[in-house]
Amino acid sequence: MAAQLSHRLPTTVTPERYAIRLTPDLTTWTFTGEEQVTIHIHQPVGMIVANAAELAIDSVSIKDAKGKLLSGNIALDHDHERACFSFPADLPVGRSELSIKFSGILNDKLHGFYRSTYKGADGKEQPLASTQFESTDARRAFPCWDEPAFKAVYQVTLVVDEKLTAISNAGVIRETPLPGTGKKEVVFADSMKMSTYLVAFIVGEFEATEPVMVGNTPLRVWAVPGKKRLANFAVDIGKASLEHFGAYYAIPYPGDKLDLIAIPDFASGAMENLGAITFRETALLVDAANATRAELERVADVVSHENAHMWFGDLVTMRWWNGLWLNEAFATFMEMLAVDAWKPEWRRWDSFTVSRAAAMQVDGLKSTRPIEFPVEKPEEAAGMFDVLTYEKGASVLRMLEQYLGADAFRDGIRLYLQRHQYDNAETTDLWDALEDSTKQPVRALMDTWIFQPGYPLISVMKEGKTLVLSQQIFRYIQDGTDLARRWHVPIFLRVGTRGGTVTKTLLMTGAEQRVEFSDDIESAVVNAGGHGFYRVRYSAELATALKGGLAKTLSAVERFGLMNDAWATTLAGPTSLTDYLDLIELLRDEDDVNVWTTVIGSSHHLARILDDGQCAELEKRLRALIAPAVARLGWTVKAGESELASQLRGDLIGALGTVANDEPTQTRAQELFAAHQKGTDDVDRNLIPALVAIVAHTGGSDDYEMFSRRFKTAQTPQEETRYLFALGNFRDPQLIDHTLDLTINGEVRTQNSPYLMRGILLNRHARDKAWVFMKSHWDEMLRQYPDNSIPRMCEGIIGLVTKELEADVNSFFAKHPVKQGSKQMEQHLERLHVAVACKQRWQSSLRG
């Protein structure tokens, strides 16, 4: 197995405790460090192998049992990111202390120990340093055993400028000035036993909220100067979710304090470093009085997600990266639970259907992957942070929870955490705990969802008193492969019979299942409640029965499922475009924001596929559908209306003014936005994103200038990104050129540029230019942008829907492979192919 495991460290020597002292220099962007690592030598070895990357190692020595110091030779293996320390004689079995001196750089790639900047009150750029170690970047900050199974204790000391704040995983024991140097030494307590990827160091000028006690844990939110005023909402959900998880898991929070820290440059959304969680500013700092409901929900989601990780991920950790889903799917599932408990009026599990649908979209491709699959190299671990790990993973857990019952499921989770705390675990350990706790065949059920890619389409028909169900893999492109694949499918039935409504839950394991009822069947809902990770195709008569009284027979989540499944089969072929457009016309009276989300999403998708003439016809039909709904809701908030209703108004007006191209709506939106700018009209916060989208869609250079200014002078992170990303939605070619320049000219943070670029690729008026630009600046983008953002940016290629562009895209990526996201790239290319096939198939549809 040696060849296969070439990236894995030997287990002959393991770390127990690191004492790390780092001195970062924020003017030269470098750091020096030393560490004493208490190690356990399990068999006599002459060489110790650990991970190191982009580090210079000056010296290494080891203290033997008698206290004698032996110095070692250092050899660096750059390809495998390793340091090999060899000693003149074999080291004896037992405990020993390894001392290493090293130095490194504070890089600008937003991983390892890296630099960030922000504007101070005087407008001058100020430096700070932060870390991002997951998956394999702790090795850029200190030599270490950088695999999740090598858990150890960390005692950190940071030497920093006197005026700066230093934060790490554990609480500060003491701060001592170092006279004559302008520096101080900040010594932190020992951390709990944990994996390297959870270690964190943050250094800079920061302000904190007053600590709030959650049990024995002081909770604070940190931000760069001037932004503390945006921290209160995060404190509230931080406290609520920490309390929620303590009770749910029945284990106290494992750290000694909890800091939530907003970092101005951040590659992902947030990172669950134990006790020192880092966030991008939009995911933590928000003006609760002026942000939209969706923006608040995002902060609540991310804070809850990271807090959930303190147990799921930090206390119990996957043994290796193949088990990443154990961390991420659970944190995503728990995030919904906590937010739903905190604000039930947001109906968080209902809006989760939108995330589930996003996972089903990718998982319906031939190029999908199982939730868990073998991982060896660092870039393969990096490729696992996707919609299948997070959203599909969370969806199948929700399906399991609903099948087992919420309390039984929770008890199994408690048992799992109890058994494996301060240690590592594998997927099989979770099934053991759930089976022991529930006595149900959890493993057999879940193995079909975790180790097998894709999901089934359940076809359903009635024969008198019998309901006939069958399963077959769902694919956007049916090529006849994998037809024998079967899942253990929890089926949630609600069947209308002559004798009344019958609900039933069953587990379907074979290709076909017949379910008997005592009376003749009149209607049937399969996947009642919408928790199942599958699609449903009803026979013609059952479909007619459902459509007859949509709002009366189906819950909002079930209507979402019906529409979303229909859209999927439209892309796949069995449903014609005309039939789909006829179906969505049944939504005239619809008032659920998520149902409309799937319809509006499919409209934008259609607009990227269809030609100009077809788009004009589509716009006409969308106006006929959406205008009455907007008329019903009005443009202003009604007394006592729910936040979801306010959000729906914004979403519908936004769609009417953009993808439905309704001129009166556009005029009114422009007027309202101008009044809002002048402060003469108090526009509802949930309407503002719609006005911004419409003004960008219709606007000229004056609007562009104004958006540009508002981006640069924004008062909140949400406002900043709203105006920035809107710059990608203008239609004028010169303005598009200007936005394209912004993606690489240094005016936009590299944490945002890739997503701006993705937006321009998805703008049908800009996509040709955007593609030419991306090809010609590809190397520049790779140099500037964080590695994890490249495959996400490339999602924009799904908008390049012509046969010619598709061929060009394929040939470009054949020559320029994206190694950290090869699976996602395959999926983007297949999604593009599905869209191009639709374009061909719909040539003669929607002609006026």
What minimum distance in Å lies between the beta carbon of 751 and Zn ion? Answer: 17
Residue nearest to Zn ion (CB): 331
What minimum distance in Å lies between the beta carbon of 330 and Zn ion? Answer: 9
Nearer to Zn ion, 291 or 331 (CB): 331
Is residue 47 a contact partner of residue 84, using CB atoms and an 8 Å limit? yes
**Residue from 283, 223, 277 nearest 255 by CA:** 277
Side-chain-side CA neighbours of 740 within 13 Å: the count stands at 24
Q: Which amino acid is at 672?
A: L
Nearer to Zn ion, 328 or 806 (CB): 328
**Residue from 26, 187, 35, 154 nearest 101 by CA:** 35
Cα separations (Å) of 472 from 316, 397, 558? Answer: 36, 21, 21
Side-chain-side CA neighbours of 464 within 13 Å: the count stands at 3
Taken as a whole, the chain contains a residue count of 848
From the candidates 147, 243, 297, 306, give the one annotated as an active-site residue.
306
The DSSP line for 525-561 is EESGGG-SSSEEEE-HHHHHHHHHTHHHHS-HHHHHH
| Rg (alpha carbons) of the chain, rounded to whole number | 28
Nearer to Zn ion, 197 or 755 (CB): 197
Cα 820–Cα 196–Cα 83 angle in degrees, nearest 5: 75
What minimum distance in Å lies between the beta carbon of 302 and Zn ion? Answer: 9
**Residue from 526, 609, 538, 528 nearest 569 by CA:** 538
Nearer to Zn ion, 331 or 630 (CB): 331
What minimum distance in Å lies between the beta carbon of 195 and Zn ion? Answer: 14
What minimum distance in Å lies between the beta carbon of 305 and Zn ion? Answer: 5
What minimum distance in Å lies between the beta carbon of 309 and Zn ion? Answer: 5
Other CB atoms within 10 Å distance of the CB of residue 543: 16
Nearer to Zn ion, 60 or 324 (CB): 324
The DSSP line for 278-304 is EEEGGGT---TTTS-HHHHHHHHHHHH
* Structure letter (DSSP) for residue 107: B
- Only one residue has tokens 């303190």, namely 310
Nearer to Zn ion, 334 or 469 (CB): 334
The DSSP line for 396-465 is HHHHHHHHH-HHHHHHHHHHHHHHHTTEEE-HHHHHHHHHHHH-S-HHHHHHHHHSS-S-EEEEEEEETT
Query: Which 3 state secondary structure label does DSSP give 156?
Result: strand
Contacts with Zn ion by CB under 5 A lie at 328, 331
Query: Which 3 state secondary structure label does DSSP give 358?
Result: helix
Q: Which amino acid is at 253?
A: Y
Catalytic: 345? no
Nearer to Zn ion, 34 or 391 (CB): 391
Nearer to Zn ion, 134 or 592 (CB): 134
What minimum distance in Å lies between the beta carbon of 458 and Zn ion? Answer: 31
Nearer to Zn ion, 327 or 523 (CB): 327
Q: Are strands 153-161 and 94-105 parallel, antiparallel or unpaired?
A: unpaired
Is residue 755 a contact partner of residue 792, using CB atoms and an 8 Å limit? yes
Nearer to Zn ion, 281 or 328 (CB): 328
What minimum distance in Å lies between the beta carbon of 612 and Zn ion? Answer: 42
Measured CA to CA, the distance from residue 798 to residue 814 in angstroms comes to 16
Nearer to Zn ion, 328 or 643 (CB): 328
What minimum distance in Å lies between the beta carbon of 396 and Zn ion? Answer: 16
Strands (E), 309-359: 316-318
The DSSP element (H or E) to which 692 belongs, if any, is helix 688-698
Cα separations (Å) of 777 from 55, 798, 826? Answer: 30, 19, 21
Cα separations (Å) of 291 from 686, 809, 838? Answer: 8, 38, 38
Other CB atoms within 10 Å distance of the CB of residue 172: 15
What minimum distance in Å lies between the beta carbon of 133 and Zn ion? Answer: 14
Is residue 274 a contact partner of residue 192, using CB atoms and an 8 Å limit? yes
What minimum distance in Å lies between the beta carbon of 753 and Zn ion? Answer: 23
Residues carrying an active site annotation: 306
